[in-house]
């Protein structure tokens, strides 16, 4: 199973940098990038001016300067809270980047010259195409492909996993990453990236957020928020002359307070933080997203294309069943098969022993310490155990048949039928014999990974279709597909078939995700909307994909999709909550503005707030303090549960829509109970 790197929500260092960042981001050049919060900053500046020049807009009244000061202070705190939310998100990313930078050192490299001699150079001097020699204990200076040699590579600095990975030239496991260490043997590596453009450099840049661009969904939501802001500003601008006409004198600070409370400041303050936190969550899950768009696309995935071997199945043929020939009991075959495998450390041998024990075998290995284990060899195609009483063998059909004939034994009449049946199902038959007698067959098959059936059901529950790609024949593919619970399969699949399948789904307007690690997967990874490449795979695959899994766990795409869903749900939920807040703030401020001149408006004061001034300041204070309360939710994301879109919408409307209406009523009333006595003391 894949793992998520656990980190504290906020550390002392992040807190310090976030507080500093909150003040630095007050620069209008930065704030204008967030139009909603820029309106708040303009309101703060106007309120600040009105503290010293209350008559500038012909405002009159007792303690008006003090009232303007309260409004300005609350707006200033609102801005700081909004900037603090974004700074915390950025701070968590920068903390991870610092950890990665410790890995990136200016190491020395053994550059191999054209004449075969070596030259020690700085890693920063290496160019694409250079060949370097890396010996035991040395760090690989930059990304590349192994062109000669085989070695164990410690990738813990990148992946966090302590177990070394075996890499060799040729095939799909020749790619190595700069910053990892050779722990045994030696390799020659051809550098595949220019200085400053390695995979680790990209990781640092992306984690820091320097390369983050707003996604289409985020741009659309930002446009909606700007539109709502403009609409409310128009309403408030026209409200002033209407109020004057009816004899109601509204202070400019009150209009500013009304505009700040009614525009979607909550989601405006948290929108950028949600996007940054989404990429941060994926990174903590040990997946590097090449763009925010890739993370967001995960949340919209409709179809998932998965390789069979290594993704859906283990890739190792494991014992599944004991099939005895006529005249032999299943128990006898079970026990002899276990004896043949009791000292066999291969996956097939271990699984045979496990299956035998599961079916009730009680043979103890220590009872056969004196027995001789015969290892499998390509020449004999069999292995087994020689005891004092018996010779036990298991192996390929033709090898065992030949062995039995040489011993003078006979081939059971039903053996070939059982072997053919297993072969048709895509399994591997291992024949078991005791001395010169064949007992039956061990049915080996590529086993589906545990828990995948339930996970595919979760994906189906949220409307995601799964398609398995395999090079197996149609019968084997159908068997594995049924066992795993995927929605469809492509048998005898070639690389071009994957691209065809992706294009077919995309032609129907669907968002497609797939995993891959080989060079032949690169075209399909590039074609897919979400391409997750394995870090252990080739450079071509990693370059073509828009996400790279550092743990090289193909099944992680299932969790990555859920992270994308969580990002979209978090953004939608907090937007719903923010807009729903306006209803309560409307009932707090509007009656307060007009009750004095129009007593009938008192009926709208359903919260029974103490005074107009208290009502306005309470609503403004609530509008400010709700932002830091929601920062942890924006960072961690709304808890995601697989369900249909309709149920998800209904659930979020109940929690964040209804909650967004009720919460301000309670919060504003509590603040009013605290603020109103203080205002009385100040004569306001």
Confidence label for 161 from pLDDT (cuts 50, 70 and 90): low
pLDDT surpasses 80 at 598: no
Distances (CA, A) of 113 to 120, 149, 237, 493: 10, 18, 74, 43
Confidence label for 171 from pLDDT (cuts 50, 70 and 90): low
What's the sign of the alpha-carbon dihedral 6, 11, 13, 19?
positive
**Other CB atoms within 10 Å distance of the CB of residue 226:** 18
Residue 548 pLDDT: 85
Angle at 12 between CA 6 and CA 14, to 5 degrees: 70
pLDDT surpasses 80 at 419: yes
Percentage of residues in the chain with pLDDT exceeding 70? 89
Q: How do residues 490-548 score in pLDDT, each as one tens digit?
A: 988 887 888 999 999 999 999 999 988 777 788 888 899 888 888 767 777 788 888 88
pLDDT surpasses 70 at 174: yes
Residue 435 pLDDT: 92
376 appears as a binding residue in the annotation: yes
Q: How do residues 434-486 score in pLDDT, each as one tens digit?
A: 999 999 999 988 778 888 888 888 888 888 899 998 877 787 788 888 888 99
Burial class (CB in 10 A: 0-12, 13-18, 19+), 220: exposed
SS3 496: helix
Residue 156 pLDDT: 66
Residue 357 pLDDT: 92
Catalytic residues, by residue number, are: 307
Residue 226 pLDDT: 87
pLDDT surpasses 90 at 663: yes
* Nearest alpha carbon to residue 128 among 198, 193, 199: 193
Pick from 270-274, 306-310, 618-622 the range whose average pLDDT is largest.
618-622
pLDDT surpasses 70 at 97: no
Confidence label for 5 from pLDDT (cuts 50, 70 and 90): very low
What is the mean pLDDT of the segment spanning 183-202?
A: 79
Tokens for 670, please give them. Answer: 């509590």
321 appears as a binding residue in the annotation: no
**Other CB atoms within 10 Å distance of the CB of residue 195:** 17
Domains in the chain: ranges and CATH: 12-95+207-283+561-682 (no CATH), 289-312+452-550 (3.40.50.1000), 314-447 (3.40.1110.10)
Percentage of residues in the chain with pLDDT exceeding 90? 25
Cβ(556)–Cβ(567) below 8 Å: no
Burial class (CB in 10 A: 0-12, 13-18, 19+), 583: middle
293 appears as a binding residue in the annotation: no
Residue 272 pLDDT: 79
Residue 211 pLDDT: 44
What is the mean pLDDT of the segment spanning 625-640?
A: 87
The more confident residue out of 341 and 245 is 341
Per the DSSP assignment, residues forming a β-bridge with 165 are 153
Cβ(668)–Cβ(622) below 8 Å: yes
What rounded mean pLDDT belongs to the chain?
Answer: 83
280 appears as a binding residue in the annotation: no
Pick from 148-157, 349-358, 628-637 the range whose average pLDDT is largest.
349-358
Angle at 380 between CA 377 and CA 382, to 5 degrees: 75
379 appears as a binding residue in the annotation: yes
595 appears as a binding residue in the annotation: no
Residue 303 pLDDT: 93
What is the mean pLDDT of the segment spanning 61-89?
A: 86
Residue 331 pLDDT: 93
380 appears as a binding residue in the annotation: yes
383 appears as a binding residue in the annotation: yes
Q: How do residues 6-17 score in pLDDT, each as one tens digit?
A: 455 567 777 888
What is the C-alpha separation between 396 and 2, in angstroms, rounded?
36
344 appears as a binding residue in the annotation: yes
SS3 598: coil
* Nearest alpha carbon to residue 267 among 584, 29, 579: 579
């Amino acid at each position: 199973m894949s793992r998520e790197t656990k980190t504290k929500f906020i550390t002392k260092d992040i807190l310090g940098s976030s507080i500093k960042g909150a003040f630095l981001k007050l620069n209008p050049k930065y704030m204008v990038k967030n139009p909603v919060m820029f309106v708040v900053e303009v309101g703060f500046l106007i309120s600040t001016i009105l503290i010293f020049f209350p008559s500038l807009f012909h405002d009159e009244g007792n303690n008006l300067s003090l009232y303007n000061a309260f409004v300005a202070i609350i707006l200033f705190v609102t801005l700081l809270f909004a900037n603090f939310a974004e700074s915390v998100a950025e701070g968590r990313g920068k903390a991870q980047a610092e950890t990665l930078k410790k890995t990136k050192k200016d190491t020395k490299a053994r550059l191999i010259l054209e004449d075969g001699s070596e030259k020690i150079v700085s890693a920063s001097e290496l160019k694409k195409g250079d060949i370097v020699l890396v010996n035991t204990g040395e760090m690989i200076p930059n990304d590349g492909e192994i062109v000669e040699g085989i070695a164990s590579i410690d990738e813990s600095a990148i992946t966090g996993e302590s177990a070394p990975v075996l890499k060799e030239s040729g095939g799909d496991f020749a790619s190595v990453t700069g910053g990892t260490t050779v722990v045994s043997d030696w390799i020659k590596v051809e550098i595949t990236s220019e200085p400053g453009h390695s995979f680790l450099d990209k990781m640092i840049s992306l984690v820091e957020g320097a390369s983050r661009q707003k996604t289409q969904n985020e741009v659309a939501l930002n446009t909606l928020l700007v539109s709502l802001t403009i609409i409310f500003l128009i309403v408030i601008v026209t409200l002033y002359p209407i109020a004057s006409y009816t004899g109601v004198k509204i202070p400019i600070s009150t209009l500013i307070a009304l505009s700040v409370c009614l525009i979607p400041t909550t989601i405006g303050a948290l929108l950028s933080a949600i996007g940054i936190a989404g990429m941060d969550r994926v990174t903590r899950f040990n997946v590097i997203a090449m763009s925010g768009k890739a993370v967001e696309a995960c949340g919209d995935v409709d179809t998932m294309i998965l390789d069979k071997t290594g993704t859906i199945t283990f890739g190792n043929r494991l014992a599944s069943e004991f099939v005895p020939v006529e005249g032999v009991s299943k128990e006898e075959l079970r026990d002899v098969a276990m004896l043949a495998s009791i000292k066999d450390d291969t996956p097939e041998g271990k699984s045979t022993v496990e299956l035998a024990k599961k079916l009730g075998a009680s043979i103890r290995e220590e009872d056969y310490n004196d027995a001789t284990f015969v290892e499998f060899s390509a020449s004999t195609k069999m292995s087994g155990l020689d005891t004092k009483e018996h010779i036990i063998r298991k192996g390929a059909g033709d090898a065992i048949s030949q062995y039995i004939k040489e011993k003078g034994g006979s081939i059971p009449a039903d053996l070939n039928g059982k072997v053919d049946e297993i072969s048709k199902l895509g399994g591997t038959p291992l024949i078991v014999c005791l001395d010169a007698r064949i007992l039956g067959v061990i049915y080996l098959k590529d086993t589906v990974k545990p828990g995948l059936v339930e996970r595919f059901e979760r994906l189906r529950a949220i409307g995601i279709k799964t398609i398995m790609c395999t090079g197996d024949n149609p019968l084997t593919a159908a068997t594995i597909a049924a066992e795993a619970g995927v929605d469809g399969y492509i048998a005898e699949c070639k690389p071009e078939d994957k691209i065809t399948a992706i294009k077919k789904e995309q032609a129907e307007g669907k968002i497609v995700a797939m995993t891959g690690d080989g060079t032949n997967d690169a075209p399909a990874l590039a074609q897919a909307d979400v391409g997750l490449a394995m870090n252990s795979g080739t450079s071509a695959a990693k370059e073509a994909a828009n996400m790279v899994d550092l743990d090289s766990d193909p099944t992680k795409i299932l969790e990555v999709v859920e992270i994308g869903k969580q990002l979209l749900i978090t953004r939608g939920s907090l937007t719903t909550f923010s807009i729903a807040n306006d209803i309560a703030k409307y009932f707090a401020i509007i009656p307060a503005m007009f009750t004095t001149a129009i007593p009938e408006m008192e009926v709208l004061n359903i919260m029974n707030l103490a005074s107009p001034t208290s009502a306005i300041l309470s609503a403004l204070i609530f509008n400010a303090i709700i932002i830091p309360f929601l920062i942890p939710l924006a960072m961690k994301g709304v808890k995601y549960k697989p369900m249909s879109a309709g149920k998800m919408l209904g659930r979020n409307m109940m929690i964040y829509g209804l909650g967004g209406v009720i919460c301000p009523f309670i919060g504003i009333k509590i603040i009013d109970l605290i603020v109103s006595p203080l205002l009385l003391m100040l004569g306001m």
